[in-house]
Amino acid sequence: DIQMTQSPSSLSASVGDRVTITCRASQTLTKYLFWYQQKPGKAPRLLICNASTLESGVPSRFSGSGFGTDFTLTISSLQPEDFGTYYCQQSHSSPYIFGQGTKLEIK
Amino acid sequence: QVQLVQSGAEVKRPGASVRVSCKTSGYTFTDYYLHWFRQAPGQGLQCMGWMNPGIADTNYAQKFQGRITMTWDTSISTAYMELTRLRSDDTAMYYCARDRVLTGHPEFDYWGQGTLVTVSS
């Protein structure tokens, strides 16, 4: 199975900050890396498809980059509603493993 | 609009079975894969497997093989996930999610609201 490692596991940032979350795969995913946001008590929400394609309705302050084994999710200017846990997920091959998550808190 | 509505919370004894339903609407049920995930309290998301009602195919994660069965009823566009021989570490929120592509590289665009299964003696 492909292993996914996210970092950091948690972070606290202020409104307006630029935030970066990284995800590393144990083998190449080519472009098949997805990012989700999950708020407490809610299902995950798809943010970024295929490493860098913004899902419809997702604010443009979110962006994704990377290819192969190393990927990044960036929030350019953090907003209060961006709190939650962010997960990367690989869709290269089954089982479609998720990273362990990054819990983002607003200072 | 696409909706996935799951059945309500369950409390089960160790050794029992649970069946969670996922009623879909707003799209053609047989045209898409449906995946099941679970999330233990405070933990990340774990893949349980997938089903394709259009071609009558299922695939279960190795961890659950022998204990999990995914079925469906196309007449009511509803999917079911049954997990048997429950243990306390099966306590989790269980989710269904639609894969919107048929490329073999799934994209989970719509999710059920989750079903909390608690296993306790």
Optimal mutation site among A1, A89, A93, interface B, most CBs of chain B within 10 A: A89
pLDDT tens sequence across A21-72: 999 999 999 999 999 999 999 999 999 999 999 999 999 999 999 999 999 9
User: What span, in angstroms and rounded, lies between the C-alpha atoms of B97 and B24?
Assistant: 10
Q: For each of chain B's 121 residues, which pLDDT tens digit applies?
A: 999 999 999 999 999 999 999 999 999 999 999 999 999 999 999 999 999 999 999 999 999 999 999 999 999 999 999 999 999 999 999 999 999 998 889 999 999 999 999 999 9
B30/A contact by beta carbon, under 8 A: no
Q: Residues, chain B, total? A: 121
Q: Please, are residues B24 and B98 in contact by the beta-carbon 8 Å criterion?
A: yes
Q: Residues, chain A, total? A: 107
B105/A contact by beta carbon, under 8 A: yes
Give the model's pLDDT for residue B103: 85
User: What span, in angstroms and rounded, lies between the C-alpha atoms of A58 and A38?
Assistant: 13
User: What span, in angstroms and rounded, lies between the C-alpha atoms of B44 and A36?
Assistant: 12
User: What span, in angstroms and rounded, lies between the C-alpha atoms of B26 and B77?
Assistant: 10
Give the model's pLDDT for residue B54: 93
Give the model's pLDDT for residue B83: 98
Give the model's pLDDT for residue B75: 97
The mean pLDDT value for A4-17 works out to 97
Q: B106, A91: Cβ pair inside 8 Å?
A: yes
- Amino acid at position A99, single letter: G
Tokens of B120: 């306790």
- Give the number of beta-carbon pairs within 8 Å between A and B: 47
Three-class SS state of A61: coil
Q: A49, B108: Cβ pair inside 8 Å?
A: no
A91/B contact by beta carbon, under 8 A: yes
B57/A contact by beta carbon, under 8 A: no
DSSP structure class, residue A99: P
Q: First CA to last CA across chain B, in angstroms?
A: 40
CA neighbours within 13 Å on the CB side: how many for B67?
15
